[in-house]
Amino acid sequence: MNERIRVPEVRLIDETGQHLGIFRTEEALRLARERGLDLVEVQPNATPPVCRIMDYGKYRYEESRRERESRKRQKTIEVKEIRLRPRIDMHDLETKVRQIQQFLADGAKVKVTVLFRGREIVYQELGERVLQKVLELLGARAMVEQAPHLEGKTLVMFLAPGRGETARTGSADEQEQES
């Protein structure tokens, strides 16, 4: 930028983007100063290097603003967790399913866990039935992202927001293959 440019001549572009030609570096710097702007080297590896006349402070501000905007647009996917027990009552299960529906409607993924305590792990099929019932109650609103699997004394299944009936039937097929 400005006096830091150490090459004898540069290809010059003005603030409107118009190509002005090849200038000696001192001449290009004088033109930039006359306009009250900076001379910025944009392509140092070209022959001769390409320099642009611009307001460097404004350029840096615009770059940081664009970067902030792109960070805002990136959507972080949240994973919510719902914990169930293998001997959960029907009404309690319906309440948990309503909560899962709300999470899915908000666009979050849901980790549904069935916690086994003590010797309950012997009755693992009870936990699998609970997860099947959750899927039945959710219908097409959810699709299975990761089929139920055991992690220690916990049966875990991941759900994502559904994309219609076809997504729902595909996840049911996955479940049947694993059983």
Residue 8's domain comprises 2-72
Asked if residue 98 and residue 168 are part of one domain, the reply reads yes
Asked if residue 103 and residue 167 are part of one domain, the reply reads yes
pLDDT on residue 174: 43
Q: What is the CATH number of the domain that holds 64?
A: 3.10.20.80
pLDDT on residue 166: 32
pLDDT on residue 44: 86
Q: What is the CATH number of the domain that holds 118?
A: 3.30.110.10
What average pLDDT does this structure show over 11-27?
89
- Highest mean pLDDT among 11-25, 53-67, 78-92 belongs to 78-92
Last residue of a domain, one of 72, 88, 116: 72
Asked if residue 91 and residue 134 are part of one domain, the reply reads yes
Asked if residue 140 and residue 85 are part of one domain, the reply reads yes
Asked if residue 85 and residue 169 are part of one domain, the reply reads yes
pLDDT in tens, 41-63: 888 888 889 999 988 888 889 88
Give dist(CA 83, CA 87) in Å, integer.
12
Give dist(CA 25, CA 30) in Å, integer.
9
Q: Look over the chain and give the mean of its residue pLDDT values, rounded to a whole number.
A: 85
* Domain count within the chain: 2
Structure letter (DSSP) for residue 1: -
Distances (CA, A) of 69 to 57, 61, 65, 74: 18, 12, 6, 9
Asked if residue 26 and residue 102 are part of one domain, the reply reads no
pLDDT in tens, 133-146: 999 999 888 999 99
